[in-house]
Amino acid sequence: MSKLKNDSFLRALLRQPTPHTPVWIMRQAGRYLPEYNATRKRAGSFLGLAKNPDYATEVTLQPLTRFPLDAAILFSDILTVPDAMGLGLYFAEGEGPKFERPLRDEAAIKKLAVPDIGSTLRYVTDAVTQIRRTLDGKVPLIGFSGSPYTLACYMVEGGGSADFRTVKTMLYDRPELLHHILDINAQSVIAYLNAQIEAGAQAVMIFDTWGGSLSAAAYKEFSLAYLQRIIAGLTKERDGVRVPNIVFTKGGGLWLEDIAAIGCDAVGLDWTCDIGQARARVGGQVALQGNLDPVSLFAQPATIRAQVARVLASYGHGTGHVFNLGHGVSQFTNPEHVGALVEAVHDLSRAYHA
């Protein structure tokens, strides 16, 4: 593998000095880019895109051609693991992800098993290897997975939900069944992320998209405990180089101290947290990633620059900050506004690293 030319992202995650604040954008390879939509059209479908390493490589690299981003993130879906477990992931036109065989009865839940990652998710590890080779050391590659609880939400509900009534009813009435699913999910996510690291991922991120829909007590028992197990089981070093990890619970700002205490390297923040207050609360224990309101990208470039300045000023001087949005970029965003964001971060952040 080529030597890494820009390691600012990895260094910031490990709270080492960098010349500027590194930046990447959640969902940076996505529908706001016309070139992404063109590739998706050729692939025929979202899953056709995600399951083909050539296409996955192509779209992963697209935003890096446009913008001087400091990291690439594997193009994939958060639901590849339950798909590999045999639940049958599909995307109905104009709707979110769905499962053909959601986990609804006890017998099916008890039969759930850790999939053989090497065979069922080979298309992902192949994509990681190919992307890493194509990147040629330009920037590091991030691997990722959904969190055990977030995967369980989709697995039990059979798709997205406004209130997660089915999975939460299981949580309240049959906690042992949900714990069984979460146990299998945690084992699977560890194997999946370690396979991505083995294939070339230089950092990994766990997306806990729905942990924030839980009560404080339920979050600790049904989401955070499994995130902690995953962090403990992750490969921490590859070829003598640290592989940092990031945990992101959307809506988890209230539980920041608890998240920072599970042993992760960095914590992702949504836009509702003040990042300076968050930094004071975690006291240098972890790096922080975030947290511009994604909707601010609908504003004019001068406004975007002012909002970027606000986040940078709130974090303050020194390392340990990876700039990002507080959630994925909207498909309706003007790509030029993403460019304005990246430029503003690089430009304005130098003063904080002098």
Cβ-based nearer residue to a second copy, 48 or 172: 172
User: Would you say 242 or 310 has its CB closer to a second copy?
Assistant: 310
- The alpha carbons of the chain give a radius of gyration, in whole angstroms, of 19
Which residues on adjacent β-strands are paired with residue 208? 249
> 27 an active-site residue?
yes
Least distance from a second copy to the Cβ atom of residue 253, Å = 5
Residues of this chain that bind a second copy (CB under 8 A): 163-165, 168-169, 172-173, 212-219, 251, 253-254, 271-274, 277, 293-296, 298-300, 303, 307, 310, 326, 330, 332
For a second copy, the closer of residues 83 and 221 by Cβ is 221
Here the tokens at position 32 are 């706001």
To the nearest whole angstrom, how small is the minimum distance from the Cβ of residue 192 to a second copy?
28
Give the active site residue among 77, 208, 265, 270. 77
| DSSP H helix total and E strand total for the chain | 17, 11
Residues 6+ away with beta carbon under 8 Å from 343: none
Q: Catalytic: which of 36, 55, 149, 154?
A: 154
- Indicate if 154 belongs to the active site: yes
> Under a CB-based contact definition with an 8 Å cutoff, are residues 195 and 129 in contact?
no
- Minimum distance from residue 146 beta carbon to a second copy (Å): 20
How many other C-beta atoms can be found within 10 angstroms of the C-beta atom of residue 260?
A: 21
Closest distance of CB 142 from a second copy, Å: 24
213 is written with which tokens? 């829909």
Q: What SS3 state is found at 143?
A: strand
Element (H, E) at 57: helix 53-66
Residue closer to a second copy by CB (options 192, 219) is: 219
| Residue positions annotated with a catalytic role | 27, 31, 40, 77, 154
